[in-house]
Amino acid sequence: MTPAVGPSRSQPATLSDVARLAGVSIATASKALNGRTQVRAETRQRVIEAAERLAFRPNQLARGLLVGRSGTVGLLTSDLEGRFSIPILMGAEDAFGAGEVAVFLCDARGDAIREQHHVRALLGRRVDGLIVVGSRTDPRPSLGRELPVPVVYAYAPSDDPDDLSIVPDSVDAGRIAVEHLLACGRTRIAHITGDPGYLAAQERAEGALTALADAGLAPVGEPRFGAWSEGWGRAATALLLDRHPDLDAVLCGSDQIARGVMDVLRERGHRVPEDVAVMGFDNWQVLTAASRPPLTSVDMNLEQVGRAAAHALFGAIGGVRHSGVETVRCRVVIRGSTAPLS
């Protein structure tokens, strides 16, 4: 690393620089560059060339100060490392980035104090709105109703029904998963899932049981709750096979669990998917693609959750306020671990 004397960075050009170079007033320069009428085409051209030459970029701070909207939104996440926040964040960034909106990223690390701090800082910067991204689908404390800007909660809904939240439809996710297995001709279906303290685990199980009941079936054993890990998948499968060696499908609460399940199935001589179909949740590429065979999984469409949140916020900024919990449907991504019974 070599210290060096920087080239004196010249201040960025201002509108008055452009106006001076083009030989017009500031007002005319502004109108020319903003495509407004009341400027002769020839004059406009001169201004545009001047702006070009000076690499002029209008100062958004000044514009924001004037028009009362900063053109920025705050994205408040509770855990950047969490793999659920990122796709949502991408979707939101995507939906905004296309337009004229820039996104402030803040990570509260699950700490309410830090979150409060970030909210204050963002309000000081006059963001036009806020998206709060959670890391699990359980409700989280509302930021309150007294904020001067609209707020949309994504993935983790607010506990205040008066707020607007966008979440994946976990109940439906459980249902469509079972329906896929039924469509493959499976009838002896078990469910191994994760931490019972997670609403997502409960809701998926609920949806799955409903779909089974609708088909006049009962699950093979009760749904088994445990942890979101491969280890639990392995342990639960071992127990399950001892009691119900005749099962023909296992619906897993996560892709990690599914990997553990598949490992034990293979070790015990059950073929996937010929003997037993296996299916996961989350559609986490690195796991679904690498497993043998590739794993069918339910994708939560998190990017779409992010985009929907961005659009809702956009609407709210425009004055269209909504409230309640809006759900986004999940989808089954079919791979080799599920196939019709031949």
Partner DNA sequence: TAGCTTTCAGAAAGCCTTTTCGGTTTCTTT
Partner DNA sequence: AAAGAAACCGAAAAGGCTTTCTGAAAGCTA
By CB under 7 A, name the binding residues for DNA. Answer: 11, 14-16, 23-28, 30-31, 33-34, 36-43, 56, 58-59, 62-63, 65-68
Q: Does 35 bind its own copies (CB under 8 A)?
A: no
Give how far Cα 88 sits from Cα of 48, 134, 289, Å.
39, 10, 21
Q: Which amino acid is at 210?
A: T
Indicate which single residue of 25, 36, 52, 94 sits in contact with its own copies (rule: CB under 8 A): 94
Which residue, 217 or 325, is less far from its own copies as judged by CB? 325
Q: What are the two backbone dihedrals, phi and then psi, of residue 101, each rounded to the nearest 5 degrees?
A: -105, 135
Rounded least distance, CB 102 to DNA, Å: 16
Rounded least distance, CB 12 to its own copies, Å: 5
DSSP secondary structure letters along 88-121: HHHHHHHHHHTTT-EEEEEE-TT-HHHHHHHHHH
Q: What are the two backbone dihedrals, phi and then psi, of residue 138, each rounded to the nearest 5 degrees?
A: -70, 145
Q: Which does 41 bind (CB under 5 to 8 A by kind): DNA, its own copies, none?
A: DNA
Rounded least distance, CB 51 to DNA, Å: 9
What pairing do the DSSP bridges indicate for beta strands 296-299 and 331-333? antiparallel
Residue 177 token pair: 């998963």
Indicate which single residue of 149, 182, 238, 334 sits in contact with its own copies (rule: CB under 8 A): 149
Task: Mark 302-341 with x for binding to its own copies (rule: CB under 8 A) and - for no binding.
Answer: --------------x--xxxxxx-x---------------
What is the SS3 assignment for 313?
Answer: helix
Q: Looking at residue 196, what DSSP letter applies? A: T
Closest by alpha carbon to 164, among 326, 342, 340, 329? 326
Residues near its own copies, by CB under 8 A: 1-7, 9-12, 57-62, 64-65, 68, 70, 72, 75, 80-81, 86-87, 89-90, 93-94, 97, 100, 102-107, 118, 120-126, 145, 148-150, 164, 229-231, 256, 259-260, 286-287, 289-290, 316, 319-324, 326
